[in-house]
Structure 1
Amino acid sequence: MLFSTKIVALLVLAAAAADPLWLDKILHADFSSLQLSANQCVQLCVRRSCLYVVHDAEHGCQMVTGGAALATPNSLLLRCCFQAPLVNVALGKPTRASSVLNSFLPGHSNDGVFLNSSNFFSSLNEIRAFLVIDLQQEYAIEAVALMPRLKNFGSNRFKYIEIRAGLTNVTGPDFSSYTLLALFPGPAPDPGIWVTKNLTTPVLGRFISLQRTAVLADYLEAAELMVYSRP
């Protein structure tokens, strides 16, 4: 059996979020003649619960529900038993926030700098402050990691912090239509310690919301937010 060196994980569990429009249109159609990317091929396989995906330029997207699957040397074979490393797909992606305190911009939350105590995102003192990262395409998200502000100025700030994922750009502050990935009740751990959540079921999403949902107003602060997938 010939296997490509670009072996990545096959996600076989359906995500809770709604399908993107391109996927919804072809779920029940003949996709063999469509020019799908490897990422789209995986997402379609998630919905069809297939066991293998073979993707190459000549044949496009092929799926196998059982038995053996062969890949040509130039193809991309995806199987459940082989996994590519998780990648932080949020790094450097566009951000926006409900408000910004001085120079503590939203982009500090996903710039890869998290050991500098002056490099972090902060909102104003407000109710349901939020941050949104646009991953710029749909990913099957498997884990998230959040570094609180390194200098903890009170336990109330890091309290009831929600991370959610969705496929549509929601203005906010209501992100209830998004799938909940993680909830950190707080208070913040010792400065410099990541809070993480590994998902038992991958969630398909493009827009990531980070929000402080505590009743009382306060600052939403984050040194770094990482979102892990296998692109």
Structure 2
Amino acid sequence: MEVKVDRGEQHLIVHKGNPRPKVSHTGVYDRDILCGDCDNILGRYESYAFDLFRKIRRQQFSGGKVISMDCVDGDMLVRFASGIAWKYAVTNPDRGRIDIGPYKDTLRMVALSGGQIPHTVDVTIARIVELDGDVYYYRTPMPDRKEGVNVVRFCLGGFLILLKIDKRPPGNLLPEECWLRGRKKGAFVTLPAEYVEEAILHDELASRKLVRQFFGKMRERSSRQSQRG
């Protein structure tokens, strides 16, 4: 939902090994994955996460803190993250397909069936704290390991999401209450951007000449539209 906010807004898709960015109006999208009913199911989870992210952003905390929030549906967030990861597990290779082995079917069940979430699947969501305010960037899902535990890692609009796909418990990487399956109260750790891989990568990619030129033109256009308004 946050990929395109204003009418006519454009974004860049940038790959570390490719010097030329790709202009996009909508971000990466695969029309061949979901029927309308399933799209609506995942859309409900994504809407819930979007609203929650806005609430978390309103909380002013420095890095290294834990934001606690009441009335959080942890299972909705697990299903949200499972849906995102599953779509990348079944998309075409040229759109960034990931290999998560048998967990592809597990995540499909979690995201689309509404059944009980197995203990092998859990999620934690961290707020990335930028020194110069909110910076919205996205990183597509990728398999990763944290303290020997398999996760799917991705980044959405200033939030780092780690989806556990492993029989083993998540270990001591984060406080236990930050893992959200089955919880009605959420705990979200804040991470200083200078220690987060996604933020460091974003800073590196955003400093490229073609990227700077693109966003310079976007700011100029936005300023002209504001003046006309």
TM-score, with length taken from structure 1: 0.24
- The answer to which structure has the higher strand fraction is 1
- The answer to which structure has the higher helix fraction is 2
- Bigger radius of gyration, 1 or 2? 1
By relative contact order (CA 8 Å, sep 6+), the higher-ranking structure is: 1
